[in-house]
Amino acid sequence: MSEALLSVRNLSVQFTTYGQTNQVLKGVSLDVPARSQIALVGESGSGKTVTMRAIMGLLRTPPAKIIGGQIFYDGRDLLTMPDRDRLKLRGTAMSMVFQDPMSSLNPVFTIADQMGTILKYADRRLGRSRSAKERMDRVHEVLGQVRMRDPERVARSYPIMLSGGMRQRVLIAMALLSEPRLLIADEPGTALDVTTQAQILKLLKDLVEERGLALLMITHNLGVVRETSNYVYVMNKGVVVEHRPTAELFEAPRDDYTKALIAAVPRLTGGTSFGKSGAAA
Amino acid sequence: MAAQTVTNEPRRLSNAYQNWYRFSRNPTAVIGAGIVILAILAAILAPWITPYPEHVGAVVNFRARHLPPSAEYWFGTDNVGRDIFTRVIFGLRISLLLALVVLGIAIPVGTTLGLLAGYFGGWVEIVIMRLTDIALAIPPLVMALAVAAVLSPDLINSMLAIAALWWTWHTRLIYSITRQLRAQEFVEAAETLGASKFHILFREILPNCVSALAVKTSLDAGFVILVGASLSFLGLGIQPPTPDLGTMVASGSAFLPDYWWESVLPGMAILVVALGFNLLGDGLRDLFDVQEVR
Amino acid sequence: MSNMLEVVGLTKLFPVRSAFGRKAGEVRAVDNVSFSIENGKVYGLAGESGSGKSTIARMIMGLAQPTSGDILLDGHSITGETGTRAYGRKVQMVFQNPGSSLNPRRTVGQSIAVPLAAHGTPSSEHKRRIAELLEMVQLPADFALRYPHELSGGQKQRVAIARALAVAPQLLILDEPTSALDVSVQARVMDLLVDLGQQLGLTYLFISHDLSLMRNFADTVGVLYLGKIVETGPTASVFEAPQHDYTRLLLASVPVISAEEEALRPKIPLIDGEIPTAEQLIALRNGANPVSQRTSE
């Protein structure tokens, strides 16, 4: 196994609200090797979102507090890095694709404005400089990479003029602007129709393979896990309960929680029965 | 099948506790609340806590005229020798009473009209909102002056004049909230469950307006006090010898800058009380804003 | 077997207005939809956003008026009757988002009391009836004093179900009842719905975009696309041998967790390396498929 690009070691996080303190992450560890597709799956409250935010540096401290562990990127611990260095990595080394295309885009600016601004600040952090035209060229290039038929038109549009699927592609494009090596996708397609979601997931998979990126996907949908990842971490109540190659996990899950989770998913083939007469746990 | 057990999570705190916790962490809000409570208590207990309660009447003590603030007369005395501190506290009574009456009329009227306009739409909405637009275009002070010119310049008349226009703000506010809530699923659910219109308006929608109303009321109270003080400054308020903050500022201004305390200290009282309500209102708004986001 | 619900030629048009309020055209949100539900069975309406499924639910519930068409409940036409109290006794609805279908400022007990009071249950009876209903949905009686924000998503949805059952309806419309819930919680709520359905002899109209759920809950399914039912029939047959392109696309898009399910899914040709949209697929076939109807299991 190649040296992991991203390595979370024993991460523990606590939250303090209204005077009460709860530990939401209890020693979470996971590895994302280069060119791999890792899924982090769990239900609400499992801690998967907190883990993702900790990796990206998006945790609000307070009320959150990292009380232990390390997050290594390319061998360097993000948690002890000076802020300036960490900021340099965001969007450039690792990039996030946000969950809700409806609310993640600012409605009063065009796509070109929003993507141009992101690129401008990323360049600044890296000490690069591009002219406005070069920036626009890059914006169009990336919009083409996410398979937009008419990148110039999309760039000129306001978010409200685009469909949900197109907005999600824009979010992916935004993540790709500065050529990151790691993409973190937060519940991609959850807010979309199932047919649109299928398109987006295929796009993500293709992009990641074409560009040799590493993908860390956060999701609650086991079907998405099976179709888009080759290794999966299952989280429950702040702990990783099981982690295996995807195929193995579904064929022979070891942990009770994983088994219960898989059993609870209704099957397209029928055979899941609900109610007392059913075989529910 | 076993009954569903509550999952192993932190104890869910009651709404009231959460609110109190957040509110108490906001220093300006707590200060505002403190000022308001103090002012209200002082106004209620006025006869018992003031050193010279008889000075609210037609008392004259020429030997003690224009005395500066001292241990004997905390705020000094005015041009006929009355204790200003006592008169300020009693004047507070009038101001707070004004706020109570005006808001006591404006809130029920404005809220009901807003609920009706927001929920029923159609011509009900058109009539009510256009009426509101017209009323909003009339400046309250001008209205009060007009009323004073027609009837006698009297506190009651002034209060009624202000109240007659104040409801419009509440109508607008409740109208917009009702319109948003009307589309919410719990309102639709109430409709499908057969609830009466009265129930939907007052038992489903209105409880959700309470936070906005609380914020607006506390901010308004400060503003009403200021308007009332302005009216009496102009001579439209309560007539002497009954003490009133605005009147005191007006009559004291004749003696500026030598006997500054006669005008400035009542003015400061107005400022502090209005400020208290504003801080309280801001604090409440900060409190409830975050809740909406949740 | 009699039909609890029969919908005939249901249509809902929304006018599109240009400047100055002049009518410039119309949106056919629901286009000549007909289906029926047998007493005690579950009928599933499958579709994505914009398919018209929620509009159909709202029209049957009386929250919206159809432009044309007829709705018959237990044999009687109710097209004019919707919105009245008598109607609310026969049909009830469980909404999608448990967070917003319960009034956040009212306790669970107060929310459940709304239909009780509206339909004439004396207040002395309320407490007992609320406890009864909570027990039916497997929640402890002291939940009546809690506020919605103190409950989990699954618990809130159970309260919504209890409230809908308070007036003992015959038909229950379930509008995406579990899409906001975690999958394990979803399983529990579906268990509850099945058990209650058998216990109380309920008929269900189940609206969902989740095909795997549909497969295991609905007896008959109708696939909605752009306001029309493009395919209908017993669930197993539609899923195992879908005829219409849209149905095939829907089934092919569902992420599944086993090889058997994968084998069941239709294979869709890629266009430009991408999964095609429904319009593209249909255009590919040169003209839309006619509505496909099955006559036997």
pLDDT at site C82:
60
pLDDT at site C22:
73
- Residue of chain B minimizing CA distance to A45: B9
In this prediction, residues C113-130 reach a mean pLDDT of: 88
Report residue A11: phi and psi, to 5°. -75, 130
pLDDT at site B290:
57
pLDDT at site A265:
92
Q: With beta carbons less than 8 A apart as the criterion, state whether A230 and A246 touch.
A: yes
Question: Which of A141, A207, A148 has the alpha carbon at shortest distance from A180?
Answer: A207
Query: A280 to chain B: which residues are within 8 Å by CB?
Result: 1
Least confident interval from A2-11, A269-278, C184-193: A269-278
pLDDT in tens, C132-189: 999 999 999 989 998 888 888 899 999 999 999 998 899 999 999 988 888 889 999 9
Mutate to test the interface with C, among B1, B4, B196 (most CBs of C within 10 A): B4
Residue C289 pLDDT greater than 70, yes or no: no
pLDDT at site C283:
76
Q: Which of the four pLDDT bands, split at 50, 70 and 90, describes residue C1?
A: low
Task: Scan residues 40-59 of C and list those with Cβ closer than 8 Å to A.
Answer: 48-49
What residue has token string 């990336």? A142
Report residue C175: phi and psi, to 5°. -100, 100
Name the DSSP class of A90: B
pLDDT at site C81:
66
Residue C232 pLDDT greater than 50, yes or no: yes
Query: B11 to chain A: which residues are within 8 Å by CB?
Result: 20
Residue A125 pLDDT greater than 50, yes or no: yes
d(CA A89, CA A126): 9
Query: A19 to chain B: which residues are within 8 Å by CB?
Result: 21
Query: C95 to chain B: which residues are within 8 Å by CB?
Result: 185, 188-189
pLDDT at site B140:
76
pLDDT in tens, C4-45: 888 999 999 888 877 776 777 888 889 999 999 999 999 999
Beta-carbon separation of B1 and A45 below 8 A = no
In this prediction, residues B247-267 reach a mean pLDDT of: 85
In this prediction, residues B4-8 reach a mean pLDDT of: 35
Distances (CA, A) of C36 to A145, A225, C1, C31, C205: 47, 37, 12, 16, 10
pLDDT at site A27:
92
* C167: contact with B, CB 8 A cutoff: yes
Question: Which of C170, C156, C121, C142 has the alpha carbon at shortest distance from C3?
Answer: C170
Query: C62 to chain B: which residues are within 8 Å by CB?
Result: 192
Residues ≥6 apart with Cβ < 8 Å to B16: none
pLDDT in tens, B186-221: 888 888 888 888 888 998 899 888 888 888 888 888
- Domains in chain A: boundaries: 4-264
Residues C131-141 as b or e (16 or more Cβ within 10 Å = b): bebbebbbbee
Look up residue C253 and give its amino acid: S
In this prediction, residues A37-42 reach a mean pLDDT of: 94
Q: Which of the four pLDDT bands, split at 50, 70 and 90, describes residue A137?
A: very high
> Using CB atoms, which residue from A44, A262, A266 is nearest to C213?
A266
> Using CB atoms, which residue from B1, B7, B21 is nearest to A18?
B21
CATH number of the domain that C260 lies in? 3.40.50.300
pLDDT at site C56:
93
pLDDT at site A124:
85
Query: A276 to chain B: which residues are within 8 Å by CB?
Result: 1
pLDDT at site B260:
85
In this prediction, residues B51-73 reach a mean pLDDT of: 79
Start-end of H helices in B11-83 = 15-24, 27-44, 46-49
Q: Which of the four pLDDT bands, split at 50, 70 and 90, describes residue C49?
A: confident
pLDDT in tens, B152-180: 777 777 778 888 888 898 999 999 999 98
Least confident interval from B144-148, B185-189, C68-72, C284-288: C284-288
Residue C258 pLDDT greater than 80, yes or no: yes
What residue has token string 């991460």? A11
Residue C293 pLDDT greater than 60, yes or no: no
d(CA C239, CA A266): 14
Owning domain of residue C223: 3-293
Name the DSSP class of A182: E
* A160: contact with C, CB 8 A cutoff: no
Residue B137: CB atoms within 10 Å: 9
Question: Percentage of residues in chain B with pLDDT exceeding 70?
Answer: 93
Residue C211 pLDDT greater than 80, yes or no: yes
CATH number corresponding to A4-264: 3.40.50.300
Q: Which of the four pLDDT bands, split at 50, 70 and 90, describes residue C294?
A: very low
- Touching A (3+ Cβ pairs <8 A), the chains are B, C
Question: Which of B207, B195, B185, B186 has the alpha carbon at shortest distance from C117?
Answer: B195
* ipTM of the complex model: 0.85
> Which residues are paired to C37 by β-bridges?
C5
Split into its structural domains, chain C has a count of 1
Beta-carbon separation of B10 and A45 below 8 A = no
- In order of start, what are the domains of chain B with their CATH numbers? 26-54+75-293 (1.10.3720.10)
Q: Which of the four pLDDT bands, split at 50, 70 and 90, describes residue B17?
A: confident
d(CA A19, CA C44): 47
Residue A7 pLDDT greater than 80, yes or no: yes
Position with higher pLDDT, C119 vs B31: B31
